[in-house]
Structure 1
Amino acid sequence: MKGIILAAGRGSRMHELTQDKPKCMVKLKNKPLLDYQVAALKFADINEIGIVCGYQKEKIFNQHITRRFENRRWEHSNMVRSLIAASEWLKNDTCMVSYSDIFYEPLAIPLLMTAKTSIAILYDSNFKTLWSQRFTRPLSDLETFRVDSLHILQDIGSRAQTIDEIQGQYMGLLKFTPEGWQTVNLLLKTLDEHQVDNLDMTGLLKHLLLTDIKIQALPFSGTWGEVDSPTDLTLYETWMHC
């Protein structure tokens, strides 16, 4: 079992906070976001932790990082291209994959490890309270997210017309077994380079659903957050306890 943190992007919506450092090194409660992710992986006894770098890669530091990958096309590509940069690990080991602009209680990783399908994600089923604090018009920012009674993902990433289409918020935490990664590779081979460059993670998951791939989505009820703006940092400073 290995951990991969996707940290190639700049996070331009953070404005001056990422002018001289990557988003994963922005501090929340005096600690870089990266440290929260690494601590959660270590809590689950995952000691091989890789990071996919890009923007200001030399500024990224955590003593527990054991491998660095690089998305050389970080300026012109999206999250899936960063995932591909770590394919050496993904094709050989089950990997817990984390966005680098999120924080979460350590128990999130052991929960994700229990997933039975070859590709799995975590989601927040109690998303409405936090989302309403972050955005004045929640529906304008939220995307569809639906699971069935067995917690198999049914829909993700479309424009939501009503709140009933949203059963939760995808958290940016994923699990891939080598078999799951092989499935992803087969899908990516059907796309051209430009399409792969522009593919984000929810787009990838949506493509997989269209090919009838089962993706387990497990609900997480602990503390977590996505840092997408300076106002997010201000909000989380007041209530975060993980």
Structure 2
Amino acid sequence: MTKVLILAAGQGSRLRPITNDRPKCLVPLLGKSLLQRQTDVLKSAGLNNIHIATGYRADQIEKLGYETSFNPLFDQTNMVESLFSAQSFIEGEEDLVIAYGDIVYQKDNLDKLLSSNDEIALMIDREWRAFWSLRLENPLDDAETLKLDSSDFVVELGKKTESYDDVQGQYTGLIKIRGDKVSDFISFYNSLDRSRNYDGQNFINMYMTSFLQMMIDSGWKARAILVNNGWLEIDTVEDLELYENMHNSGRLSHFYKYDSNDS
């Protein structure tokens, strides 16, 4: 069995005014909210135990009927804090999928992640540069390191870089933790020093990539599940406009395919 935690506590300030009255995950993309696009794909893969970590405008998500956990510090914390606000949900021995609330992805990519039996599996887009070039004049302005060993295990991620040689793929915000490692995953988090900084952030604002890097540095094996596009990240109003325009001109399907009957 596999359960899913979607991290959807953020305010989505760069998507205002759309997010003035709704959380980021309820922003519409091609006529359907990001959350519905994710949950439709998850359910099509047989994943029905879906839990959502909420914060900003939690009421909008709660009324949809999903089980939720609330991060009361949503306006001053980062995703790791939201993840462990749902600790009572993630406890157990089931495989755990963790998904950012501002992404959408194809079922074939999800299936690749689910097929992994590694301690940690991270969906990594090796064709990231073409995607990032649509969104940014200089993709390196927003790029972070992603280095793999000869067996496609991640050895470094999340650092700033000025060289494409340091970026063997883009971490997408989709993670799988093997069921027998979930308790160790929680214990690792609980063992961290709350008083120190992590990559320049205090504990409650730790980046997810910082958390994953510390796990890797401590001996965890994080497998890169390599895909070629097949997903989108929605950060800004400009992203939404870009994807809508690409859809209208027939160019979006190169980067993200979905059933034309579901929009």
Smaller-chain TM-score bracket: over 0.9
The corresponding residue for 1:52 is: 53
Question: Equivalents in 1 of 2:59, 2:174: separation in Å?
Answer: 25
Q: Indicate yes or no: 2:85 matched with 1:85.
A: yes
3-state SS of paired residue (2:16): helix
Question: Equivalents in 1 of 2:51, 2:38: separation in Å?
Answer: 11
Provide, for residues 67-113 of structure 1, a one-character-per-residue CA deviation record: whole Å limited to 9, x for no partner. 11111111121100111022223221211111110111122222111
Q: Indicate yes or no: 2:187 matched with 1:200.
A: no
**Equivalent residue letter for 1:74:** F
5 Å matches for 1:112-151?
Answer: 112-151=113-152
Q: Indicate yes or no: 2:84 matched with 1:68.
A: no
Q: Indicate yes or no: 2:167 matched with 1:166.
A: yes
Q: Which runs of 5+ in 1 are unaligned?
A: none
Question: Equivalents in 1 of 2:156, 2:41: separation in Å?
Answer: 28
The corresponding residue for 2:239 is: 232
The corresponding residue for 1:241 is: 257
**Equivalent residue letter for 1:48:** N
Question: Equivalents in 2 of 1:107, 1:156: separation in Å?
Answer: 24
Taking structure 1 as the reference length, the TM-score comes to 0.93
Structure 1 pair 3–160 and aligned structure 2 pair: CA distance change class (3 A): same
Question: Equivalents in 2 of 1:207, 1:179: separation in Å?
Answer: 19
The corresponding residue for 2:4 is: 3
The corresponding residue for 1:106 is: 107
Q: Which runs of 5+ in 2 are unaligned?
A: 197-201, 247-251, 259-263
After the TM superposition, which of the residue ranges 85-94 and 9-18 deviates more from structure 2? 85-94
Question: Equivalents in 1 of 2:208, 2:243: separation in Å?
Answer: 24
Alignment check: 8 A CA contact 1:153 1:216 kept: yes
Give the fraction of aligned pairs with identical amino acids, expressed as a percent.
Answer: 32
Alignment check: 8 A CA contact 1:70 1:85 kept: yes
**Equivalent residue letter for 1:241:** K
Alignment check: 8 A CA contact 2:62 2:68 kept: no
1:222 is displaced (CA, Å) by 4.5
1:147 is displaced (CA, Å) by 1.3
Question: Equivalents in 2 of 1:37, 1:193: separation in Å?
Answer: 35
**How many residues matched?**
241
The corresponding residue for 1:181 is: 182
Provide, for residues 29-60 of structure 1, a one-character-per-residue CA deviation record: whole Å limited to 9, x for no partner. 11100011101110110111111111001112
1:227 is displaced (CA, Å) by 0.3
Alignment check: 8 A CA contact 1:10 1:22 kept: yes
Taking structure 2 as the reference length, the TM-score comes to 0.86
**Equivalent residue letter for 1:86:** A
Alignment check: 8 A CA contact 2:117 2:178 kept: no
Question: Equivalents in 2 of 1:233, 1:185: separation in Å?
Answer: 35
